[in-house]
Amino acid sequence: MSAHDIDHSLDSFGDATASATRVTPGNALRPEDIAIQQEKPTDLVAQYAVRLGDDALILAQRLSHWISRGPELEEDIALGNIALDQLGHARSFLTYAGKAWDKTEDDLAYWREEEDFRSLHIVEQPNGDFGVTIMRQLIISIYQHLLYTELLQSSDPTIAAISAKAVKEVDYHRDHAIAWTLRLGMGTEESARRMRHALAVLWPYVGEIFEDEELHTALGDVAVAPSTLRAAWDEDFASVLSDAGLEVPTVPYAMARGRRGEHSEHLGFILAEMQVLARKHPGATW
Amino acid sequence: MAAQQESGGSLSAVLSPEEQAGQDRFNQIIADDSRIEPRDWMPEAYRKTLTRQMSQHAHSEIIGMQPEANWITRAPSLKRKAILMAKVQDEAGHGLYLYSGTETLGTPRDVLNEQLMTGKAKYSSIFNYPARSWADMGAIGWLVDGAAIANQVPLCRASYGPYGRAMVRICKEESFHQRQGFEILLELANGTQAQKKMAQDAINRFYAPSLMMFGPPDSDSPNSGQSTAWKIKRFSNDELRQRFVGMIAEQVKVLGLTLPDPELRFDAETGTWIHMELDWVEFKAVIAGNGPCNAQRLQRRRDAHNEGAWVREAAAAYAAKMARKTEVA
């Protein structure tokens, strides 16, 4: 077999034609691959995929704002890269979900109304200063890492495959968030003060992450009930905070119900910006 | 993105015997078309010229992130959003290599950054124009990155090793950027009437500024000679502009759109492309700080820097604490 033949034989796999924007090692599953596969998710599986996709999409939208505004060029690149990874996960989950309803990823991202989104309030929270962004990253990346690790065992092969790609990337997001939490928690008085503030600002929205829904029970082995991740998350999170000289704050929780389509006041603005151009040109392709 | 074409400086008159030996070796390396490396002796003016050119190029990459970052959150499809994010990230990467390359000449990044923020250092003036529509993402990729490539491919052979090598990687990524810009325009040109109009409007606005990216006409570019002698610069501003305008004159036909230049034609007799007179008064005014976005671009850079000060201080304090811990252990 010549080198050319080998190249050719790989054409149908994600790796060979890996994303136009970055090559991901392993069995990179791209949204384009998912779009052409035969299997369609059930309505319930699609609803679950929408939850995973919306969290990643809104977080990507938030993080992307840091590009050209970071405290160091290296952070423009790092946060941009994390945003790009999250956007990739969102595209895969939304593409898969959309197949249940003959919709594309763009139909779901650009043409759904606010109440049809299923994102968590925590991903909708404003970036704040770098400390708030890092704290939000710490909270979410520890959660997503636990979640995607469990979802490797999902009985839905596509959910498992997307998670397999996502977990490798989220592992880096977690490392990045931990490294910065330590630097900022242990750095200066000012940075520690800002991190305590970030914790107080974000803590009210942590509870929502781990709330189970009927959907999780109904889906059985396809999904992971978020409440089952809480103990491990608490342990991991507390350990990072302790290393960083920080403490879990005692602030009230917020009744956040993003999974029911009841969102923070921020989401409307996020969507207005994200959807404006696409909606100005119905039916156009880009 | 673009290195503004410019050069300058002159050799100092009296050299010590060591300096003379260094100068002779330097001259030989240039004559052999080989590479000057950071530890080699080099004339101060060569160091200064390169420091200015490379840092201007780095600054252009960093400021050039802004007009495109402006559209990331509004990109009209998730695929385009991903591509644009990756592209702007590439530009940050180019800025980083070029700052690192410039550091090999002895000026640290924070000094270069300071020069940018105080307005002392220049960057490519085209980024002082606003990115008003989505089609500008196409026009910037096709025309601005295209002009940058025409400028930069010859720089891959620049006599200073770290610069030439950085340019090889940068040019590879820029050529991908140019293709994606062209593809955006192609999609728009084949889209709805409104999309087509958007594409033509973007080309109309970016055409002349992209031609001006090659710098003033040869007749008004007094410093180019020295850079050419040092083999930093391989072609004149007008030669490069020629090459570029000829290329886009063909490519625009594929788009089914037009370049806003009634005088554009190929002159068979001289074998050159004739284009309209460019507005060098506006060019100089924009460089001097009077472009539509100069103030905004620099303020954004200063804001990011100032708002990140506490983060950098914390990182430095933490690193110092860790170093002390290691020492004690």
Q: Tell me whether strands B272-274 and B265-267 are parallel, antiparallel or unpaired.
A: antiparallel
Minimum CA–CA partner of A179 in chain B: B315
Residues near A166 by Cβ (< 8 Å), separated by ≥ 6? Answer: A85, A89, A92, A144, A148
Of B72 and A28, the one with more pLDDT: B72
- Cβ contact, residue pair B187, A21, below 8 Å: no
Chain centroid offset of residue A285 CA: 26
Nearest chain A Cα distance for residue B45, angstroms: 29
Q: What is the pLDDT of residue A27?
A: 55
| Cα–Cα distance measured from residue B184 to residue B187, given in angstroms and rounded to the nearest whole number | 5
Burial class (CB in 10 A: 0-12, 13-18, 19+), B109: middle
Distances (CA, A) of A255 to A34, A50, A55, A169, B186: 35, 21, 18, 30, 48
A216 in B contact zone (CB under 8 Å): no
pLDDT for B13: 63
Q: What is the pLDDT of residue A5?
A: 44
Q: What angle do CA B72, B152, B264 make, to 5 degrees?
A: 85
Amino acid at A30: R
- In the prediction, which pLDDT does B327 show? 85
Residues of A in contact with B78 (CB under 8 A): 31, 57, 87, 90-91, 94, 105-106, 109
**Look-up of token digits 């330590």:** A182
The band of A7, judged by pLDDT with boundaries at 50, 70 and 90, is very low
- Mutation target for B interface from A19, A32, A68, A191: give the one with most B CBs within 10 A: A68
Residue in B with minimal Cα distance to A182: B318
- Put simply, the chain A residues between 156 and 215 with a CB less than 8 A from any chain B CB are 182-184, 186-188, 190-191, 194
Say what angle helices A189-202 and A157-186 make with each other, to 10 degrees. Answer: 140
Give me the total of CB pairs closer than 8 Å, taking one residue from chain A and one from chain B: 154
A-chain residues near B199 (CB < 8 A): none
Integer Cα distance of B79 and A286 in angstroms: 9
Residue B87's closest CA among B100, B71, B102, B101?
A: B71
Substitution target from B198, B318, B324 for chain A, most A beta carbons within 10 A:
B318
Contact A236, A140 (CB under 8 A): no
A211 and A259 Cβ atoms separated by less than 8 Å:
yes
The predicted pLDDT at position A12 comes to 39
Asked if B310's CB is within 8 angstroms of A190's CB, the reply is yes
Per residue in A37-86, pLDDT tens? 888 999 999 999 999 999 999 999 999 999 999 999 999 999 999 999 99
Assess contact for B241 and B187: CB atoms under 8 A.
no
Instruction: Delimit the domains of chain A by residue range.
Output: 28-280
Interface check for A71 against chain B (CB to CB < 8 A): the answer is yes
Q: Which residues, in sequence order, are bridge partners of residue A262?
A: A257
Among A25-29, A154-158, B182-186, which is the least confidently predicted range? A25-29
B274 beta partners: B265
Cβ of B300 and A183 within 8 Å? no
pLDDT of residue A28: 65
Residue of A22, A58, A67, A134 to mutate, testing the B interface (most B Cβ within 10 Å of its Cβ): A67
Quote the CA–CA distance of B163 and B36 in Å, as a whole number: 10
Nearest CA to A51 out of A229, A215, A187, A230 is that of A215
Which of B77, B134, B308 is closest, CB to CB, to A71? B308
CB–CB of A191 and B69 under 8 A? Answer: no
pLDDT digits 0-9 by tens, B48-95: 999 999 999 999 999 999 999 999 999 999 999 999 999 999 999 999
Nearest to residue B53, comparing CAs of B63, B45, B64? B45
The whole-angstrom separation of Cα A128 and Cα A113 is 25
ipTM attached to this prediction:
0.92
Q: For residue B296, give both structure tokens.
A: 């905004």
Under a CB-based contact definition with an 8 Å cutoff, are residues B73 and A61 in contact?
Answer: yes
Which of B187, B188, B321 lies nearest to residue A186, judging by beta carbons?
B321
* ∠ Cα B92 B204 B171 (to 5°): 30
Residue from A23, A34, A73 whose CB has the most chain B CBs within 10 Å, to mutate:
A73
Residues with pLDDT less than 50, chain B: 1-10
Q: Is the pLDDT of residue A151 over 60?
A: yes
> Contact at 8 Å (CB) between A91 and A31?
yes
Which residue in A57, A194, A286 is closest to B187 by CB distance?
A286
- Residue whose tokens read 């001259």: B27
In this model, does residue A26 exceed pLDDT 90?
no
pLDDT for the residue A271: 98
pLDDT given for residue A2 in this prediction:
43
Q: Name A49's Cβ contacts closer than 8 Å, sequence gap at least 6.
A: A41, A93, A94, A96, A97, A159
Chain A contacts of B191, Cβ < 8 Å? 284-286
Q: Dihedrals φ, ψ of B57, to 5°?
A: -65, -45
Please spell the DSSP secondary structure of A84-110, one letter per residue. Answer: HHHHHHHHHHHHHHHHTTT--HHHHHH
pLDDT at residue B224 in the model: 77
What does the alpha-carbon distance between residue B84 and residue A194 come to, in Å, rounded to a whole number? 32
| B299 contacts in chain A (CB < 8 Å) | none
Q: Which residues of B touch A21 (CB under 8 A)?
A: 82-83, 85-86
* CA gap B329, A102 in Å, rounded: 62
Taking the Cβ of residue A1 and every Cβ of chain B, the question of whether any pair is shorter than 8 Å is answered with: no
Domain A28-280 CATH class label: mainly alpha
Which residues, 6 or more positions from B26, have their beta carbon under 8 angstroms from its beta carbon? B36, B40, B41, B42, B43, B46
